[in-house]
A and B are shown apart, each in its own frame.
Chain A
Amino acid sequence: MSKHIPVIIITLPLLFAFVLPVLGFAGAGPRVRNFLVTAVFIAVNIMIFSLIPSVSLDGGIIYYALGAIDPTVATPEGLDFPVRILLKIDGFSLFIAIIIGIVSLTSYIYSTGFIEEDGKTNYFAVIFMLLTAGLLGMTFTNDLFNFFVFLEVASIAGATLTSYVTWKKHPPYAGFKYLLISSIATTFFLLGVGLCYAQYGSFNIEYINLSLSHSLLDRIALVFMISAMAMKAGAVPMHIWVPDTYSEAPTPVTVMLKTAGIVCLYALFRISFSLFGNPLSGIVNSINNTTLGWIVIILGVFSMFIGVSMALIQHDVKRLMAFHSVSQVGYMLLGLGVGIAVYTNNDNGQAFQIFGKVAMAGGIFHIMNNAFYKSLLFLTAGVMEKRFGTRNLDSMIGLAHKDLFTTIAFVIGALAISGIPPFNGFASKLLIYESVYMFSPMLSIIAMFVSVLTLASFMKVFYSSFLGPRREDLIVNDKKIPLGMTIGMLVLCVLVVLMGLFPDIVINNLVEPAISGLVNLK
């Protein structure tokens, strides 16, 4: 049983997504459904955590060949002729899977209080589970076409959830935008996959990496894949869809869309390192990692700066936070870019060992931190939206009188995103500042400046919506916050504080194995 865990993690949400409508027709109520879905997500989390000892702590890699007699053979039939779909779990995919597991659990618990029961809520849960299954599949697969299929599953589910509130004016258009962008990205990704298949006759990532010839076609494929994934992750030249989609989607869905962006960022890491990275190949005209690294760095710096400066002038609280997520993607790209740029520095990996590795650790650790505090901030924005019936900051005031817990949660999130010491944002940002300073001081200064602007814009939100006099007339929804919403925020608050207080535990046990999953310096 335990050897089938990798595939059960993906199929459990998939299976229950199709069981739920049947239960709905059989007359099961919302309580049964919420209990069942929460139980499934908790089971997925337990299974993901049960893999930590063998994968992260022992540095092992789990292979799972779908349809093989013995699925756990390290390389079924050898990599000479890899025809089966392989799942591969190394430190990095497990790291991302932990994020997906925790965020989907908390945002589903939150959504039980947030989404109003109207007889169609069953379908929300169905698509929510499909989205989670798609994201987990993208994380675990070792097969490019399989990755594409899961990417499409996640895009279709994400777009459907974005336009869940079909009777309002804007959500269907936001869903249209998300699906359009996703379709263009996946079309180009598939073209890149085709270019790889044309040369190597396989879709297996490791097989392609082993037989890579660094031809011109490889470079074209690299460009197609990287740009498609940067588009889905919301890096700057392709960020225009982010604020429109994130702000119109229901809040729990916004959090999941953010996670989808993170998974696409994971794919970007995978493509640059596991698929095309070949530092010690010795081939003269191999893909120039320094150029690729600088391109990623420039994308990152522009994302940071443009994201935060657009966020400063917003009046819509979710749009503001959406622009901040563009800016935070910039930090991760900066860390990744420095890592790539020094990966092949012709010095036997000296520079990489000294600061490139720290930069990547910062970037990867920031992915997890960002997933938690950003989700927390979006969830508090959902409370504001419920209370005031609008997302406009100009018509909010004095929420602190009403919801003390939400205020504390918001302050924790805002301080974490700005990199203030006791919270987790500080831990990863400090790693990025230090290591990037050794690479290029200017980049580090820009990163710190962006942090200051981030704090400024969140002070604006805090001042205009939480502080101020008590104004009962502006509050349209006077009810107590549902228990589910409180639990969702509480879990994330605890995680943000704990990871800020004990960052070394996470870095040693999860981030270091994640880096060794990506990079193998012999």
Chain B
Amino acid sequence: MSDITLYVTVVVLLFIGIAGVLYKRNLVKIVICLNIASSAVNLFFITLAYRPDATAPIFNAAPALGKLKMVLPAPQALILTNIVIGFATTALILTMAVLTYRANGTLDIRRLKGVEDNE
């Protein structure tokens, strides 16, 4: 796949994610869309780091020094961090969705209305 296709994919994924967060009414579906948006950013960083016909950024696996060509190492390390953070966020936010369901009996944001008890 060429770079352009990948970048277009990034934009499309981002739009799907944000549109889902804006228009979906179910808390769990909102979380899924959030993850799609976050994957788009991950894909963006990986695409940045990618070089055609390059090896992994490990010195031992590199070809002869003269034609040394490696993919960028930093974004891959960073995206690993981001995936872990995304995992933590998703776990926590789903816990909150479960607790909301237990307390209110619904996951529909139209029926979860703010703070009526204290008004």
Contact = CB atoms under 8 A, between A and B. Distances in A.
Interface of A: 145, 149, 152, 155-156, 159-160, 163, 166-170, 172-173, 175-176, 179-180, 183-184, 187, 190-191, 194, 197-198, 203, 244, 247-248, 315-316, 319, 390-392
B89 to A, nearest CB: 6
A319 B27 CA distance: 24
11 contacts: A149-B85, A169-B103, A170-B117, A172-B96, A173-B100, A173-B104, A179-B96, A180-B34, A187-B38, A197-B48, A198-B48
Interface of B: 14, 18, 21, 27, 30, 34, 37-38, 41, 44-45, 48, 74-75, 78, 81-82, 85, 88-89, 92-93, 96-97, 99-100, 103-104, 112, 114-115, 117-119
A176 B100 contact: yes
Which 6 interchain pairs have the tightest Cβ spacing?
Answer: A172-B99, A176-B96, A169-B103, A173-B100, A172-B100, A172-B96
Contacts of A160: 92
B118 A180 contact: no
Contacts of B27: 176
Nearest to A314: B119
Nearest to B39: A187
Contact of A168 (B41, B75, B103, B119): B103
Contact of A169 (B88, B89, B93, B104): B104
A145 B78 contact: yes
A460 to B, nearest CB: 16
Contacts of A248: 115
A179 B89 contact: yes
A391 B118 contact: yes
Nearest to A160: B92
Contacts of B92: 156, 159-160, 179
Nearest to B17: A187
A179 B92 CA distance: 9
A517 B31 CA distance: 39
Given A180-B93, A315-B119, A191 B85 contact: no
